[in-house]
Amino acid sequence: MTILKKLSAIFIFTLVALITLGILSIRSLDQAQTRFEYVAGNTLGSINKISEVLRHREEARRQVLMSLLVSQKDIFEKHMANARVELGEAKKALDYYQANLVSDERDSQLIKQTIANFNEYVGKVNKMVKMYDTDGLEAARGMVADGGEAANASVLVSANIKEMLLYNYKIATDYEAENNKQYKSTLWFLISIISIATLLVAFFAFTI
């Protein structure tokens, strides 16, 4: 092989190696960016929305409990009005999540179950209000005491919300793990190509 052919072979091989490295790097960065955008735009948004639901639901629960601390009906009605506002805001957040933030089929099932149990909880709160009017304060307190209908429904909603949070955190950590895995895989592949290219260039250069 002539010197010109050897130099041409070295140049062509080096060029091919550089193009391959560039393509692999761009592909890896593009996939990593896609995952990052999904986590930033969907998963973090989902977590924030679920946290909003939890905040409104807890405030509604607090207002319900405060309404039953004293026997004055005007105080009861004031706190229950606040509770209804908070429950309404929680329902809006749940509906928004279902319409815009569902990640996959599992997430879809979780939000459907959460909404169903939330509606059941709202129904128990409304039942408590009717019981307050018909059977009095102690009967209403029994609804929110441990083991009461409203209390049990509230516990179930809390469990649903916690499960949704954990699932979305899992999605985020899975994407992070996949990014790290691909980064390491791409890094080792690039190192291998660079090493092989260097050895071959050195070999051709030595044989000139």
* CA–CA dist 167, 160 (Å, integer): 11
Q: Identify the DSSP state of 145.
A: S
Question: pLDDT digit string (tens) for 91-142?
Answer: 999 999 999 999 889 999 999 999 999 999 999 999 999 999 999 999 999 9
Alpha-carbon dihedral sign for residues 56, 61, 62, 63: positive
Q: Measured on CA atoms in the order 39, 42, 45, 49, is the torsion positive or negative? A: negative
Please give the pLDDT value at position 119: 97
For every one of its 208 residues, what pLDDT tens digit does the chain have, with 9 covering 90 and above? Answer: 566 666 566 667 666 766 776 676 666 656 655 555 555 456 688 889 999 999 999 999 999 999 999 889 999 999 999 999 999 999 999 999 999 999 889 999 999 999 999 999 999 999 999 999 999 999 999 999 999 999 999 999 999 999 999 999 888 787 766 766 766 676 676 677 667 767 666 666 666 5
Written in H, E and C, the secondary structure of 32-74 is: HHHHHHHHHHHHHHHHHHHHHHHHHHHHHHHHHHHHCCCCCHH
Are 79 and 87 in contact, with CB atoms under 8 Å apart?
no
CA 74 to chain centre: 41
Q: Are 129 and 172 in contact (CB under 8 A)?
A: no
According to the model, what pLDDT value does residue 178 have? Answer: 72
How many other C-beta atoms are found inside a 10 Å radius of the C-beta of residue 47?
18
Q: Which two tokens stand for residue 203?
A: 């070999």
